[in-house]
Amino acid sequence: MKFTVLGSGAGLPSKDRNTQSFVIDCVLEYNEYILIDAGEALQHRILHTHIKPSKIKNIFITHLHGDHIFGLPGFLSSRAFQGGEGIPLTIYGPAGLREWLDLTFKISESTLNYPLEIIEVEADMTIRLNDFTVRVLPLSHGIDSFAYIFKENDKIGELLTDKLLALGLKPGPVYGKIKASETFTVEGKEYQTADFIGETIYGRKIAVHGDTRLNSKEDYLNQLFNADLIVHEATFLKDEKEKAHDYFHSEINQVLNMFSELNYKQLLFVHISSRYTDEDIREVSAALNDKAAIAFDYFELPIPRNVQ
């Protein structure tokens, strides 16, 4: 599994940063990509990757500002001609998303050749998707904006086959039966299956935010605890805390301070304003801790499974 940034910029695109779009690559696990937000020119960005539109089967929209959705109608139409025929697609997003897409397709006389389901989300909603539980968290942004927390189910550890072989049990269907049971018996002696199972494989957690002011509420921070990846906006990079608050956005140092006591593996900053130069970004990046980074377009981050 890996996280790919197709667009890392804020409201106005620049020559180097497209507006916001991300992909969670689950092809090896579930044979699909999960798209989060659909900035303008999304379909053009995908052309520079190995991503197949037909394998994007679920889309999550954080909020309905144009820099997060203007690429959606074009992508949906293109998918119909890029192997997507007959392959269902589900879009999750705030109220109003269905009306906007229905009107867009009606006026443009566009049709799709695959089933499209639009599910309008609400705060604290829970969505089941593959082996993920997706939690919808409300944010503060003037219009409805959400964070999506993708939590993969934990998996039982692998059988310790060397220990089973030592008991005289050769590989075969019996191994599956043992793994599915609490106890098993060999030559009249009972054994606890847990003693023959390796360490639990803990599910990965990825938290992707829409645009937002800071949220320091304890229940919100608890949802992010132990995240493998937190993706958070940093529209402002230069200590403009008051301006960030006034515009319903976040400033990078405030975010770092808010998460300073939070246990996570990687913090990725996105939604970077086009007014910052490369030199500005290099200067800010140099001061970040080793768990934080400012994203760029086509940035990729592998997210391995956790064994503890």
Between the CA of residue 304 and those of 17, 205, 297, what are the distances in Å?
27, 11, 21
Q: What is the pLDDT of residue 307?
A: 58
Does 44 count as an annotated binding residue?
Answer: no
**Predicted local distance difference test score (pLDDT) of residue 239:** 81
Let me know: does 264 contact 292? Beta carbons within 8 Å. no
Residues 102 and 210 in one domain: yes
| Mean pLDDT (whole number) for 31-45 | 96
Do 118 and 179 lie in one domain? The reply is no
Q: Which amino acid is at 83?
A: G
151 and 264 inside one domain: yes
Report pLDDT for 308: 53
pLDDT for 83 equals 87
- 245 annotated among ligand-binding-site residues: no
154 catalytic? Reply is: no
Q: What is the CATH number of the domain that holds 106?
A: 3.60.15.10
Which of 177, 196, 215 terminates a domain? The answer is: 196
Average pLDDT score, the chain? 94
50-71 average pLDDT score: 97
The answer, yes or no, to whether residue 108 has pLDDT greater than 70, is yes
For 175-199, how does the pLDDT look when each residue is reduced to its tens digit (9 = 90+)?
A: 999 998 999 999 999 999 999 999 8
Domain count, the chain: 2
Q: Which pLDDT band holds residue 306 (cuts at 50, 70, 90)?
A: confident
Same domain, 135 and 184: no
Domain that holds residue 13: 2-155+200-307
Same domain, 258 and 184: no
Confidence check: pLDDT of 255 > 90 = yes
Q: Are 64 and 143 in contact (CB under 8 A)?
A: yes
pLDDT interval class at 69 (50, 70, 90): very high
The reply, when asked if residue 211 is annotated as ligand binding, is yes
Q: Is 232 flagged in the annotation as binding? A: no
Burial 197-231 (b: 16+ CB within 10 A, else e): beeebbbbbbbbbbbbbbbeeeeeeebbeebbbbb
Tokens representing 25 are 């690559």
Q: What is the mean pLDDT of residues 221-239?
A: 94
| Whether residue 38 sits in one domain with residue 181 | no
Angle at CA 60, nearest 5°, toward 56 and 62? 150
Is there a single domain that holds both residue 83 and residue 180? no
pLDDT reading at 113 higher than 90: yes
The residue from 67, 144, 228, 297 that is catalytic is 67
How confident is the model over 277-296, as a mean pLDDT? 94
* Tokens encoding 34: 């999960």
Kindly report each contact of residues 168-177 with a partner whose C-beta sits within 8 Å and lies 24 or more positions away, as own/partner. Answer: none
Residue 63: CB partners within 8 Å, gap ≥ 6? 93, 94, 139, 141, 143, 144, 145, 146, 210, 211
What pLDDT, on a 0 to 100 scale, did the predictor assign at position 165? 94
The response to whether 67 counts as a known ligand-binding position is: yes
Residue 159 pLDDT:
92
* Overall average pLDDT of the 204-215 stretch: 96
With 0-12 CB in 10 A as exposed, 13-18 as middle and 19+ as buried, what is 280? middle
